[in-house]
């Protein structure tokens, strides 16, 4: 709740003069001499109204380093922050310094209420004919109104997730408002208001024009615009939270059946309007899997031409590489949120589809209980064969910082068989056939057989690597083959690479790729392929050509070559491994002030594009809402309302008929994981579902709230563990689980944020009641 003085201050600003930013040129503003505008002036002109609407979006906080400078994962059992030993918000959290005077995670009470006030003001003034006099086309105005209704619902959802029920404000406060009548609404009442706000937006008619109105579809230059899908995502999450153990009150309308109704309709509406799980398979030099591609590379496009999963992905790049990166990355400032061993243990085995660790035999989580069904798990090689989402999310010992990139090709010269223009060009002691596909088949018929390729036709581009390249099939071994560089007018016969090439016998149908470096020959031998070094009197560079020699009396060997060419390229940089073992280049650190090295033995890979470094920040945005969450929200409501296998029909045309297990399997199949086994009991499915949600949505600011609404915080968040790895002389590794500092942040009072004491005292003075959350008095 905003205090009385602040409310009156805001009210005075709104009713007398509003200072706006982001306007057109000052000449259009007709500003009073004190630089302020009356509210009537603001709502009398198109651009001013539009900018007031735009400012209503300014209170969206997207996932990232917005929680005391750290990821929210650092305050949950997902991770332990490397800033634990220095003055920092994570350090304060781990030392139980949260209070009614300071919240290390960040107090957002006033921030979101300011956003709500902004939305209420817009909605009030836009419906007041004495204030709103601007000429704005009806469909466009309808779109703005829909966005603002949705934003108001979203801001309330962010408040109640953290604080529980809060006061409901649906209009700006008037002068003389009686604050003694304010009260904290219940969680259910707040969810009612959230649903009503979103429903008001969704009830607006869809314009027949695709570029205006409250819409499903956007163009790429409209990133950040609030859509109908956003409104459904807010409803889905609000319903799920309301039905969860922490917030459900006996008799509330928001039981699991109601949550199922809303989450299913949200999923169906989005699916029917073209939203899908991202499932584009990338090339191996871009990402390891579709999930990896989506989380670590793809930048959301508002038009959904490529990314059909993201519902809202506007904001700044995450810059994980700087603030939660690896020390081998140039420009990294901090290791940040180091993934916990508990999170690592939650990633299942890919081949068997079962978790390798079932729990812990001790209170400190140092003795894992191995799953006998995980026959593909090896404790001495613990990172092999895991869920592909593990490799997309976590850097572990000896994992590659980058992927093997492709060559940067700077020049390519395609060659063919040189049809003899004169007797001197005839192949020697071999028969040559040019096949229909352009490949060249040559059979040696005598010692020192050779034939010529066509003219290169242009200079050879200088590069780090210059090679002769082709694919071949051969029915025998060719030892000590060589190329000759031929220039008419140059040395007789040309210059040899030296008899240093080997072509091996291939299996039937097998093709082998061949490359031979020629850079030294090009630079050192009379300028082959180099116009300014051609021997005086010889033909121009375009007439230079290559000769292939079998050499060594290899008679009767048949060699077929296809795609012969000279390629100039820069090879990709060598891959650097992330060495988290003690003493490695990213080794686990016991030095409490060394914030660049992990405390857990792991680094965050999710949202960290391996190409990011100084001057090249290409980390993607961490999405606020995406289709994957809607599948999971529905699955949770569905199994709680019925059973894991109960099929729920589509709510709208073009929707989905699926069960809770079907929804979870959709995500698992995208991740290249086996389906869940049929016939799981409700309790067994719940365990698998919660693990699936933990893995799929890791580091997306869900786990922090999930363990609270499920009321399992006491089991999860007192401490986390890591893995200390030592390297032996035999290049093998020893793995030792370690327990990190106990935090004391798993007691019931941490289920909700404290309300700052200054706010509590003021509202207690007005209402006679303490609004403080349990345990924070």
Structure-model confidence comparison of residues 97 and 37, the more confident one? 97
Instruction: Judge whether residue 530 has pLDDT over 70.
Output: no
pLDDT average, residue stretch 749-757? 97
The pLDDT of 116-135, averaged and rounded, is 97
* pLDDT tens string 184-200: 999 999 999 999 999 99
pLDDT-based confidence at residue 8 (cuts at 50, 70, 90) = very low
Task: Kindly state the tokens that stand for 269.
Answer: 């509406």
User: What is the separation, in whole angstroms, between the first and last Cα of the chain?
Assistant: 17
- What average pLDDT does the chain have? 90
pLDDT tens profile 641-666: 999 999 999 999 999 999 999 999 99
Determine the pLDDT at residue 617. 87
Q: Say what the pLDDT of residue 479 is.
A: 84
Q: Please give the Cα distance from 709 to 521 (Å, whole number).
A: 70
The DSSP bridge pattern shows strands 577-578 and 399-400 to be antiparallel
What is the C-alpha to C-alpha distance for residues 6 and 183, in angstroms, rounded to an integer?
17
Q: Which of 308, 402, 394, 367 is nearest to 623 (CA)?
A: 308
Q: What is the pLDDT of residue 196?
A: 98
Q: How far apart are CA 80 and CA 589, in angstroms?
A: 13
Instruction: Give Dmax (Cα) for the chain.
Output: 111
Note whether 598 and 586 are within 8 A (CB): yes
| Consecutive H or E run containing 433 | strand 430-434
Q: Token pair 């590659």 is at which residue?
A: 400
pLDDT at 760 over 50: yes
Beta bridge partners of 468: 516, 566
528 has pLDDT over 70? no
pLDDT digits (tens, 9 = 90+) for 561-596: 999 999 999 887 778 899 999 999 999 988 889 999
Question: What's the rounded mean pLDDT across residues 677-685?
Answer: 96
> Alpha helices of 164-309 — where are they, by DSSP H?
187-202, 228-243, 256-272, 290-296
Give the per-residue pLDDT at 514.
Answer: 95
Q: Is the pLDDT of residue 532 over 60?
A: no
- Average pLDDT rounded to a whole number, residues 167-194: 92
pLDDT reading at 598 higher than 70:
yes
Mean local confidence (pLDDT), 166-173: 93
Strands 450-455 and 545-549: antiparallel
User: Of 85, 92, 100, which is closest to residue 67 (Cα–Cα)?
Assistant: 92
Is pLDDT above 90 for 740?
yes
**Residue 174 has what pLDDT?**
80
Of the chain, the percentage scoring pLDDT greater than 70 comes to: 92
CA angle 303, 309, 312 (to 5 degrees): 70
What is the pLDDT confidence band of residue 213, given thresholds at 50, 70 and 90? very high
The helix or strand, by DSSP H or E, that contains position 739, with its residue range, turns out to be strand 733-739
Quick check: 491 pLDDT over 70? no
99-112 mean pLDDT: 97
Integer-rounded Cα Rg, in Å, for the chain is 33
Mean pLDDT of 34-52: 89
Residue 9 confidence class, pLDDT cut points 50, 70, 90: very low
Range with the poorest average pLDDT among 59-73, 155-169, 452-466, 669-683: 452-466
pLDDT in tens, 429-464: 999 999 999 999 999 998 889 999 998 888 888 888
Listed as own residue / partner, the contacts of 455-459 with beta carbons closer than 8 Å and 24 or more positions apart are 455/418, 455/542, 455/543, 455/544, 455/545, 456/413, 456/415, 456/529, 456/541, 456/542, 456/544, 456/545, 456/546, 456/566, 457/413, 457/542, 458/413, 458/541, 458/542, 459/529, 459/530, 459/531, 459/541
- Rounded Cα distance between 162 and 754, Å, is 9
Q: Which residue has the higher pLDDT, 368 or 30?
A: 368
Cβ-count burial of 117 within 10 angstroms (0-12 exposed, 13-18 middle, 19+ buried)? Answer: buried
What is the average per-residue pLDDT within 338-358?
Answer: 98
Q: Give the pLDDT confidence of 606-621 residue by residue, as tens digits.
A: 999 998 988 888 999 9
């Amino acid at each position: 709740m905003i205090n009385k003085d602040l409310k009156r201050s805001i009210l005075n600003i709104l009713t007398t003069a509003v200072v706006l930013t982001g306007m057109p040129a000052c000449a259009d503003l007709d500003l009073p001499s004190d630089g302020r505008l009356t509210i009537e002036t603001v709502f009398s002109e198109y651009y001013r109204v539009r900018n007031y609407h735009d400012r209503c979006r300014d209170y969206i906080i997207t996932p990232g380093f917005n929680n005391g400078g750290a990821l929210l994962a650092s305050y949950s059992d997902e991770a332990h922050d490397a800033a634990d030993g220095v003055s920092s918000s994570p350090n304060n959290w781990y030392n139980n310094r949260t209070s009614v005077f300071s919240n290390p995670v960040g107090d957002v009470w006033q921030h979101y209420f300011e956003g709500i006030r902004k939305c209420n003001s817009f909605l009030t003034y836009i419906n007041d004919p004495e204030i709103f006099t601007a000429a704005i086309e009806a469909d466009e105005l309808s779109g703005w109104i829909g966005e603002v209704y949705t934003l108001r619902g979203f801001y309330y959802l962010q408040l109640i997730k953290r604080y529980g029920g809060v006061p409901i404000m649906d209009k700006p406060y008037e002068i003389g408002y009686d604050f003694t009548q304010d009260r904290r609404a219940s969680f259910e009442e707040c969810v009612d208001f959230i649903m009503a706000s979103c429903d008001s937006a969704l009830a607006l008619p869809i314009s027949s024009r695709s570029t205006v109105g409250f819409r499903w579809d956007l163009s790429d230059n409209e990133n950040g615009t609030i859509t109908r899908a956003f409104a459904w995502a807010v409803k889905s999450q609000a319903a799920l939270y309301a039905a969860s153990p922490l917030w459900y009150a006996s008799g509330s309308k928001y039981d699991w059946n109601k949550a199922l109704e809303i989450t299913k309709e949200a999923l169906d509406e989005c699916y029917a309007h073209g939203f899908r799980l991202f499932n584009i398979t990338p090339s191996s030099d871009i990402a390891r899997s579709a999930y990896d591609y989506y989380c670590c590379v793809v930048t959301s496009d508002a038009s959904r031409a490529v990314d059909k999963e993201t519902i809202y992905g506007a904001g700044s790049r995450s810059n994980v590489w700087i603030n939660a990166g690896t020390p081998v990355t140039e420009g990294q400032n901090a290791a940040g949120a180091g993934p916990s061993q508990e999170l690592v243990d939650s990633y299942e085995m890919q081949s068997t589809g079962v978790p390798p660790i079932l729990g812990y035999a001790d209170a400190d989580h140092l003795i894992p209980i191995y799953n006998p069904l995980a026959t593909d798990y090896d404790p001495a090689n613990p990172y092999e064969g895991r869920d592909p989402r593990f490799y997309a999310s976590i850097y572990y010992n000896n994992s590659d910082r980058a992927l093997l990139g492709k060559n940067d090709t700077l020049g390519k010269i395609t060659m063919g068989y040189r049809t003899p223009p004169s007797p001197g060009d005839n192949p020697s002691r071999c028969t040559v056939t040019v096949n229909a596909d352009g490949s060249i088949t040559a059979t040696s018929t005598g010692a020192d057989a050779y034939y010529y390729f066509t003219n290169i036709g242009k200079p050879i581009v200088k590069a780090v690597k210059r090679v002769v390249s082709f694919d071949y099939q051969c029915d025998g071994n060719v030892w000590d083959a060589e190329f000759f560089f031929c220039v008419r007018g140059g040395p007789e016969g040309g210059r040899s690479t030296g008899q240093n090439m080997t072509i091996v016998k291939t299996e039937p149908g097998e093709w082998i790729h061949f490359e031979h470096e020629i850079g030294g020959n090009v630079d050192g031998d009379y300028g082959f392929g180099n116009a300014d070094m051609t021997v005086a009197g010889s033909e121009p560079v375009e007439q230079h050509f290559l000769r292939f020699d079998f050499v060594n009396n290899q008679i009767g060997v048949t060699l077929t070559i296809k795609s012969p060419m000279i390629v100039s390229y820069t090879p990709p940089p060598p891959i650097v491994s992330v060495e988290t073992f003690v003493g490695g280049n990213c080794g686990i650190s016991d030095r409490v002030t060394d914030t660049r090295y992990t405390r857990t033995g792991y680094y965050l890979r999710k949202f960290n594009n391996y190409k990011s470094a100084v001057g090249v920040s290409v980390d993607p945005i961490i999405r606020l809402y995406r289709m994957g969450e809607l599948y999971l929200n529905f699955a949770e409501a569905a199994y709680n309302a019925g059973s894991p296998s109960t099929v729920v029909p589509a709510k709208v045309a073009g929707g989905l008929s699926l069960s809770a297990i079907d929804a979870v399997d959709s995500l698992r199949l995208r991740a290249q994981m086996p389906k869940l086994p049929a016939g799981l009991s409700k309790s067994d499915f719940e365990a698998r579902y919660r693990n699936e949600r933990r893995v799929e949505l890791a580091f997306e600011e869900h786990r922090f709230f999930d363990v609270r609404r499920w009321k399992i915080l006491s089991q999860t968040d007192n401490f986390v563990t890591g893995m200390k790895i030592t390297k032996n002389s035999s290049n093998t590794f020893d793995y030792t689980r370690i327990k990190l500092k106990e935090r004391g942040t798993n007691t019931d009072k941490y289920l909700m944020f404290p309300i700052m004491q200054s706010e509590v005292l003021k509202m207690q003075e007005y209402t006679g009641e303490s609004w403080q959350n349990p345990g924070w008095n």
